[in-house]
Chains A and B, each alone.
Chain A
Amino acid sequence: EVLLVDSGGGLVRAGGSLRLSCAASGFIFNSYSMNWVRQAPGKGLEWVSSISTASSYISYADSVKGRFTISRDNANNSLYLQMDSLRVEDTAVYYCVREWDYFDHWGQGTLVTVSS
């Protein structure tokens, strides 16, 4: 069974930093690109970042470019999102998502709240 467990969310002041983690199991992690998708309270889905299997291709949404850094550890089946210079508008549930062109498996999400 594919399992993605998101963690690391919490309450942080604007300008602060947070590191999200995603522990993957039940599949060959290094065979899949991985993504982060977020959802602000009561809002829709927003793609945040993508990383290819060997970390050779990385992309970001314009809204987070220069502030967030995606990375992965294939030896430990883990995905990360380092979030710096956080803004109030970054408040959202962040989902770790497996990609096979489309997003076929999602973590349960971790809530990030940025206060002013």
Chain B
Amino acid sequence: EIVMTQSPATLSVSPGERATLSCRASQTISSNLAWYQQKPGQAPRLLIFGASTRATGIPARFTGSGSGTEFTLTISSLQSEDFAVYYCQQYDNWPPYTFGQGTKLEIK
């Protein structure tokens, strides 16, 4: 089973600033990585697939990068609606599909 590890667990950033979230896979997963955003009381929403391709309707301030075992989600100029929990997920080697434990992005 591929283990996905996200860091940090919580990230405090001021609106308008940049946030950088990390995700590491326990073995290489090529670019078969997705990022999801989840707000309280809502279902997760797909942000990024293929490590760097934005899903339909996702603003350009969300950027995914990386390949192999190291991945990054960068959110430039944070807006109020961006404060949420973010999960990475690998779909390279399954079953099982595996998620990271999540990074909570909170307002500083």
Contact = CB atoms under 8 A, between A and B. Distances in A.
B34 interface: yes
B45 interface: yes
B76 interface: no
B99 interface: yes
Nearest to B34: A102
Contacts of A109: 43
A50 B46 contact: no
- Report whether over half of chain A's contact residues are helix, strand or loop; otherwise say mixed: strand
B91 A101 contact: yes
Which one of A44, A61, A102, A109 has the highest number of Cβ atoms from chain B below 10 Å of its Cβ?
A102
Nearest to B6: A44
Contacts of A46: 99
Contact of A59 (B43, B49, B89, B94): B94
A50 B94 CA distance: 10
B87 A45 contact: yes
14 contacts: A45-B44, A45-B87, A45-B89, A47-B94, A47-B98, A50-B95, A59-B96, A62-B96, A95-B43, A101-B91, A103-B89, A103-B97, A107-B43, A108-B43
Interface of B: 32, 34, 36, 43-46, 49-50, 55, 87, 89, 91, 94-102
